[in-house]
């Protein structure tokens, strides 16, 4: 048995606002804890934003847990608005960090649509403590993370200069049942078109899981970070999917917003 939680639009959906630097909306999740956001990437206090707070996500006596995004999908109502494109086997970034999975979509730039993406999480094992599950987002990657997580199997690949916590959810304590969470994210094609036209076509996600008590006290304990997930977007009439060579070029090129970012990490 497991607790299956689908975070619906009415209480928990995030909105993709890709027209501005603040790329993702982060509404509260009812019982979910909503971390603040900041451009700072150096930890100073527990009240600072996700980039700083996550720097404390380390500990000495923990084993990695299977925190991962199982799948990114379109809900049924969105399948006529956004096209899911097949990513050929073996196509990925040639340099690190490499995404564990790539979701490719195409939309018609002449149509203003709102679709819903679903981030289906793997089942979280039961524990006796409440935990906070955070969905992290960035347009930029780094091979040398500013945030050190030495005991996490998967390191933070998102560049802290562009890092945002989209939203979070309080995972209830349960000693017998696992918990499966699905985040629903609203995707608006009008602002997405502006980002793609500006040279930002690939977006990156990771999930972090920490004990709620540690999160609230600023004593974050051990990070459990998921593998890297990428979403590639194509703006094309009739929602045509990208040719393989174009997809490969885009995946292996930095987004334009990352190329001249102040203090960019390599």
Query: Residue 208 and residue 222: Cα distance in Å, rounded?
Result: 10
Counting as low any pLDDT under 50, the low residues of the chain are 8-65, 221
What pLDDT, on a 0 to 100 scale, did the predictor assign at position 179? 87
Domain boundaries defined on the chain: 2-34+53-259
- Please report the sign of the dihedral spanned by the C-alpha atoms of residue 222, residue 53, residue 23, residue 196: negative
What pLDDT, on a 0 to 100 scale, did the predictor assign at position 250? 96
Query: Residue 113 and residue 95: Cα distance in Å, rounded?
Result: 34
Compute the residue count for the chain. 266
What pLDDT, on a 0 to 100 scale, did the predictor assign at position 10? 30
Residue 180 neighbours by CB under 8 Å, 6+ apart:
2, 3, 4, 5, 120, 121, 122, 123, 124
What pLDDT, on a 0 to 100 scale, did the predictor assign at position 75? 92
What pLDDT, on a 0 to 100 scale, did the predictor assign at position 222? 65
What pLDDT, on a 0 to 100 scale, did the predictor assign at position 243? 97
């Amino acid at each position: 048995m497991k607790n299956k939680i689908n975070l619906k639009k009415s209480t928990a959906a995030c909105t993709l606002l890709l027209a501005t630097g603040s790329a993702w909306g982060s509404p509260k999740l009812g019982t979910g804890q909503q971390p603040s956001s900041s451009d700072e990437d150096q930890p100073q206090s527990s009240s600072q934003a996700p980039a700083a707070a996550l720097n404390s996500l380390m500990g000495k006596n923990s084993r990695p847990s299977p925190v991962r995004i199982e799948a990114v999908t379109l809900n049924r109502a969105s399948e006529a608005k956004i096209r899911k494109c097949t990513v050929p086997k073996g196509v990925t970034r040639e340099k690190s960090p490499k995404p564990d999975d790539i979701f490719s979509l195409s939309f018609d730039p002449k149509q203003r649509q709102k679709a819903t993406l679903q981030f289906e999480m793997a089942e979280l094992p039961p524990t006796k403590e409440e935990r906070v599950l955070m969905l992290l987002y960035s347009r930029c990657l780094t091979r040398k993370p500013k945030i050190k997580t030495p005991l996490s199997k998967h390191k933070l690949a998102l560049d802290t200069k562009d890092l945002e916590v989209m939203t979070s959810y309080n995972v209830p304590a349960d000693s017998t049942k696992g918990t499966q969470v699905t985040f629903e994210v609203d995707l608006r094609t009008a602002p997405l078109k502006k980002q793609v036209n500006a040279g930002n076509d690939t977006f990156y996600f990771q999930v972090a899981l920490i004990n709620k008590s540690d999160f609230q006290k600023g004593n974050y304990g051990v990070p459990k970070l998921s593998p890297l997930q990428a979403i590639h977007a194509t703006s094309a009439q009739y929602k045509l999917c990208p040719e393989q060579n174009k997809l490969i070029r885009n995946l292996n090129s930095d987004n334009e917003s990352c190329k001249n970012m102040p203090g960019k990490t390599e």
